[in-house]
Amino acid sequence: MEVIPAIDLRQGKCARLRQGDKDRVTIYADDPLAVAQQWRDEGARWLHVVNLDGAFDERDTENLQATARMARSVGIPIQFGGGIRSRAAAERLFDLGVRRIILGTVAVERPALVAELVARFGAEAIVVGIDAKQGKVATHGWQAAGDCAPLELAQRMQAEGVTRIVYTDIARDGMLIGVNVAATAELAQATRLRVIASGGVADLPDLQALAATGVIEGCIVGKALYEGRFTLRAAWQAVGGAILEK
């Protein structure tokens, strides 16, 4: 199972929110590039970068600049989500050097665009983010609640050619209360999609529980790393992964 460190960007800085609430923000570092280099040196094979400002439809110039620097300098691929609402936005990110983009709101509101992007860039480059809040998919930076169930959206996206999703339990995100192993595994088993878990990882047993399901491709880890609950190297060892030596 892949362990993917998160770098959430707020006004060009490395930040974390609690349950996606932009008023409950903690800034962990002023230089995201230095953080990215640290995760690379600890064995990261991917970086998960989130454009918080873009997700909230706010000015995101600093975040895009920081992402471009990471893509140029770190040497491992980036998957990027937050505020991608058009083909032009997707193309710009690929031009910056991003390897995969994560689509959330548009998957609900403009599924035809998802299909168009899969056809244009390939299924490996397009990921759908399914963010669950009380059993329904939330959109627009998790601020808007919908009436679509996660499984329903996953099946719709599968029909559009999507092969990978990131599943986030919003209530757990940034809370260090444990990941929703059951819901994540059920989604993977029901769809046979490649599923990356997100939200709530608090300790190494959380990662081991996800890996033990045998159906979850990876897990995004954020606050637990920033708060020093464990190191990325320890996370790799816990799930039996090989550590890249730099």
Residues with a known catalytic role: 8, 131
Q: 85 in helix, strand or coil?
A: coil
Cα separations in angstroms, 216 against 35, 52, 157, 245: 26, 25, 18, 25
- Calpha distance 179→132 (Å, rounded): 13
With beta carbons less than 8 A apart as the criterion, state whether 47 and 24 touch.
no
Contacts of 34 (CB under 8 A, 6+ apart): none
- Calpha distance 160→235 (Å, rounded): 34
With beta carbons less than 8 A apart as the criterion, state whether 115 and 126 touch.
no
- Neighbour count for residue 56 (Cβ, 10 Å): 18
Contacts 24+ apart (CB under 8 A), 181-185: 181/206, 181/209, 181/210, 181/213, 183/132, 183/150, 184/210, 184/213, 184/216, 185/210, 185/213, 185/215, 185/216
Q: Is the dihedral of CA 6, 8, 14, 17 positive or negative?
A: negative
- Calpha distance 211→228 (Å, rounded): 21
